[in-house]
C-alpha cells in the first residue's frame, strides 16, 4: 500500500471555490477572523500528522490489535505516543469552544480533517471522534457544574468519552434497555447494568473515560419514553477535577472483530456506579440524539476516508503493475507489458471510486457548512432552514457514504487482483475496516427507514423543500445552457424520478407501511445519487471557466470535468433501475411465506 497523501488540492477546491465556505463562515458570529489562509494552514498541518504519524501505524495496529488483560485494555504499540502528540498539537479540541480550551473552528473544516484521519487510520480516529461527541452532548444537556468539570478536560484530550447504548438484548430497539439508575439524596444516581459493543470503552490513552449511559429510572414508563441519559466517569472526579478511585465501571471483555482492530470494542459493566443525569428524566433519547446524529455524520465521513485511501492505493498499483497490452495496441512498447491502467475495466473501477469520492467530499462539506449555519447564523429562519437540511441529509450521508466506502474498498481489491486479497498491500484491511461503518450508529437499513419514515414527511414535507427547491432552481436555470445543459439534463431526469418515487412511497406507505419499508433502501440510494449529481453540476459550473486555462497547469479542472462526465454517463443512470424497483412495490418481499426462507 503506498504512503497516504492528504488530498489537499481537492479539499481546497471544495471549500474555497465550490462552497466559498471561508467567506460564508466569516460572516457568522464567532468566525469573523476566519480566513482562507488560516484554513489552508490547518488542513496542511492535519495532513502532515495524518501522513507522518497516523498512517504508518495503521497496518501494525490492525495486526497487533488491542490487548485485554486483567480488566485493562492496552492499545497497539505506538498508539499512546501518537495520541499524546495528537493531543499536544490541539487536535482533540480543534472544534471545541474557546471557553472550554478549544480552538473553536467550524464543523465544515472539521469534516475535512476527520476525513484525513479516517483515511490514515480509522481505528485511531475512533478515540477522539467519540470524545468529541460526548463533549457536544454534555455541552448541550449538562448542568453548569458538569460542564465546568468535564468539558475542558475532554477538549484538552486528557479525558475521553463514549456512548453506551447497546445491551445484549437490545440494539436498534433501545426501548428494551434494562440498565437501572437509582436516584440518591445528593442528586446523583447509582447506575447498574451491562453495555456491549462500546467503542473506546476501555483503553490506555487517557486518564479518565467519561461514559454517556442510557438507563431506566425506577417506575419509568415502558419503552423508549422511559429512558434517561447519565454521565458516568470511569474514575470518580473530585470537586477540583482531580481523578480519584474507581467508580464501579469495569471492562468485562473486548470483542475480536473483523476490522478496526486497534479500536477497543468493549463489554462495559456498571456496578452501582455514580452518575449524573443529562437533560430531563425519561427524555434521554432526545439528549442522546445530539451525540448519535453527530456520530452518523462522522461515520459517513469514515466511509469517505476509506474510499479515498482505496483510490490512492489502487491508482498507484494500476500505474505500476504491468499486465498484457492495451486493446487498441501497445501504449508502452518499450516495456514488457502495459500498465493495467490502460485497460477499460481498470479505468471503470478507478473512475467509479474517484467520482464517488469527489462527489461525497463536496456533499459532506456542504452538510458540515449547513450545520455551522444552523448553530451560528443570527437569523432564526436561516438557522431553521439549515437545521432542516442537515436533518434530511444525515441518513443519506451516513448510509450513502458508508455503502460507497465499502464498494470502493472492494473495487480497490479488484484492481489489485490477487495481490489485493493478501495482507501485504493493505487493501484487504480497508474492506474489513469499512464493513462496520454500514452497521454501527444505526445500520444503513435503519437510516433508510429514518429517511422515509421520519424525514420525508416531516412537517408536511418541510425538510424535503430545503433540498428540492434549490436543486429545481439550479436545474431550471442551467438546463438550456450550451455548456451546462448536457450535465443538467440527465440530472433533471433523475430528479423527476426522485420526486415521483417520493410521491409513490408517501401514497403507498399511508395504506401499507410495509410498502415504504420495502422501498426505503432503494429510495435512499436514489436520493443519494441525485444529491451527488447536484454537487457535480455545481462543480462543473465552478471548474468550467478555469479548465484548459492558465490556472489549469496541472490539469486539475480538466480532470474535474472529465470525472463529472463519467458520473453523469455511468453512475447517475443507476437511478432508473432504482426507480423501477421502487415502483414495483413490496409484494414480492412481503408475500413470501416465512416458512419458505
The catalytic residues are 441
- ∠ CA 434-439-444, nearest 5°, is 105
CB atoms within 10 A of CB 445: 16
Report the distance separating Cα 136 and Cα 95, nearest Å. 10
Angle, helix 380-416 to helix 284-320, in steps of 10 degrees: 40
Categorise residue 246: left if φ over 0, alpha if ψ from -120 to 50, beta otherwise. Answer: beta
Within its chain, how far is the Cα of 40 from the centroid?
Answer: 22
Non-local CB neighbours of 344 within 8 Å, separated by 6+ positions: 327
Report the distance separating Cα 140 and Cα 163, nearest Å. 15
**Cβ proximity of 160 and 169 under 8 Å:** no
**Cβ proximity of 162 and 210 under 8 Å:** yes
User: What backbone phi and psi angles, to 5 degrees, belong to 164?
Assistant: -115, 95
User: What backbone phi and psi angles, to 5 degrees, belong to 541?
Assistant: -60, -35
What's the residue count for the chain? 597
Within its chain, how far is the Cα of 37 from the centroid?
Answer: 26
Positive or negative, the Cα torsion across 23, 25, 28, 32? Answer: negative
* Alpha-carbon distances, residue 23 vs 318, 365, 385, 541 (angstroms): 39, 14, 19, 19
Report the distance separating Cα 299 and Cα 444, nearest Å. 11
Half-sphere exposure of 472 (CA within 13 A, CB side): 10
User: What backbone phi and psi angles, to 5 degrees, belong to 269?
Assistant: -105, 130
Report the distance separating Cα 389 and Cα 462, nearest Å. 9
Beta bridge partners of 235: 246
Report the distance separating Cα 588 and Cα 441, nearest Å. 29
CB atoms within 10 A of CB 412: 31
**Cβ proximity of 132 and 159 under 8 Å:** no
Report helix, strand or coil for 525: helix
Report the distance separating Cα 91 and Cα 71, nearest Å. 29
**Cβ proximity of 202 and 72 under 8 Å:** yes
- ∠ CA 551-553-557, nearest 5°, is 65
Amino acid at each position: 500500500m503506498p504512503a497516504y497523501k492528504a488530498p489537499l488540492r481537492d479539499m481546497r477546491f471544495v471549500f474555497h471555490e465550490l462552497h466559498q465556505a471561508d467567506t460564508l463562515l466569516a460572516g457568522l458570529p464567532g468566525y469573523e477572523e476566519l480566513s482562507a489562509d488560516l484554513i489552508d494552514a490547518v488542513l496542511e498541518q492535519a495532513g502532515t500528522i495524518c501522513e507522518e504519524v497516523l498512517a504508518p501505524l495503521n497496518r501494525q495496529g490492525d495486526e497487533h490489535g488491542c490487548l485485554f488483560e486483567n480488566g485493562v485494555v492496552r492499545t497497539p504499540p505506538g498508539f499512546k505516543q501518537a495520541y499524546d502528540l495528537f493531543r499536544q498539537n490541539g487536535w482533540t479540541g480543534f472544534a471545541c469552544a474557546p471557553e472550554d480550551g478549544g480552538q473553536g473552528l467550524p464543523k465544515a473544516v472539521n469534516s475535512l480533517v476527520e476525513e484525513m484521519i479516517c483515511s490514515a487510520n480509522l481505528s485511531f480516529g475512533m478515540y477522539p471522534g467519540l470524545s468529541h461527541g460526548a463533549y457536544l452532548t454534555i455541552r448541550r444537556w449538562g448542568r453548569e457544574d458538569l460542564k465546568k468539570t468535564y468539558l475542558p478536560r475532554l477538549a484538552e484530550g486528557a479525558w475521553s468519552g463514549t456512548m453506551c447504548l447497546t445491551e445484549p438484548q437490545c440494539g436498534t430497539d433501545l426501548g428494551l434497555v434494562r440498565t437501572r439508575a437509582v436516584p440518591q439524596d445528593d442528586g446523583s444516581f447509582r447506575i447498574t447494568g451491562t453495555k456491549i459493543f462500546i467503542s473506546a470503552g476501555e483503553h490506555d490513552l487517557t486518564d479518565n473515560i467519561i461514559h454517556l449511559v442510557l438507563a431506566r429510572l425506577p417506575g419509568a414508563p415502558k419503552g423508549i419514553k422511559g429512558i434517561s441519559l447519565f454521565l458516568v466517569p470511569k474514575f470518580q472526579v473530585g470537586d477540583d477535577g482531580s481523578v480519584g478511585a474507581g467508580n464501579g465501571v469495569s471492562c468485562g471483555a473486548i470483542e475480536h472483530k473483523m476490522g478496526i482492530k486497534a479500536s477497543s470494542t468493549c463489554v462495559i459493566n456498571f456496578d452501582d456506579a455514580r452518575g449524573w443525569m443529562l437533560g430531563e428524566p425519561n427524555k434521554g433519547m432526545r439528549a442522546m440524539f445530539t451525540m448519535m446524529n453527530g456520530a452518523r455524520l462522522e461515520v459517513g465521513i469514515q466511509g469517505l476516508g476509506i474510499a479515498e485511501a482505496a483510490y490512492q492505493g489502487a491508482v498507484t498499483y494500476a500505474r505500476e503493475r504491468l499486465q498484457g497490452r492495451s486493446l487498441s495496441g501497445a501504449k508502452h512498447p518499450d516495456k514488457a507489458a502495459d500498465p493495467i491502467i490502460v485497460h477499460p475495466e481498470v479505468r471503470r473501477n478507478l473512475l467509479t471510486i474517484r467520482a464517488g469520492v469527489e462527489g461525497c467530499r463536496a456533499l459532506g462539506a456542504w452538510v458540515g457548512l449547513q450545520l455551522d449555519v444552523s448553530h451560528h447564523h443570527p437569523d432564526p429562519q436561516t438557522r431553521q432552514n439549515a437545521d432542516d437540511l442537515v436533518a434530511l441529509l444525515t441518513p443519506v450521508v451516513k448510509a450513502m457514504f458508508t455503502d460507497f466506502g465499502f464498494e470502493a474498498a472492494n473495487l480497490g481489491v479488484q484492481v489489485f487482483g490477487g495481490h489485493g486479497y493478501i495482507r501485504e498491500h493493505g487493501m484487504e484491511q480497508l474492506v474489513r475496516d469499512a464493513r462496520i461503518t454500514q452497521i454501527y450508529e444505526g445500520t444503513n437499513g435503519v437510516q433508510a427507514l429514518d429517511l422515509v419514515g421520519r424525514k420525508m414527511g416531516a412537517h408536511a414535507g418541510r425538510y424535503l423543500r430545503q433540498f428540492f427547491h434549490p436543486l429545481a432552481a439550479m436545474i431550471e436555470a442551467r438546463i438550456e445552457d450550451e455548456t451546462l445543459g448536457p450535465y443538467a439534463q440527465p440530472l433533471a431526469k433523475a430528479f423527476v424520478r426522485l420526486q415521483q418515487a417520493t410521491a409513490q412511497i408517501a401514497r403507498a406507505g399511508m395504506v401499507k407501511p410495509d410498502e415504504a419499508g420495502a422501498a426505503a433502501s432503494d429510495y435512499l440510494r436514489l436520493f443519494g445519487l441525485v444529491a451527488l449529481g447536484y454537487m457535480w453540476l455545481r462543480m462543473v459550473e465552478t471548474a468550467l471557466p478555469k479548465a484548459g486555462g492558465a490556472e489549469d497547469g496541472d490539469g486539475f479542472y480538466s480532470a474535474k470535468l472529465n470525472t463529472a462526465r463519467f458520473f453523469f454517463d455511468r453512475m447517475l443512470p443507476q437511478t432508473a433501475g432504482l426507480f423501477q424497483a421502487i415502483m414495483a412495490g413490496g409484494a414480492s418481499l412481503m408475500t413470501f411465506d416465512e416458512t419458505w426462507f
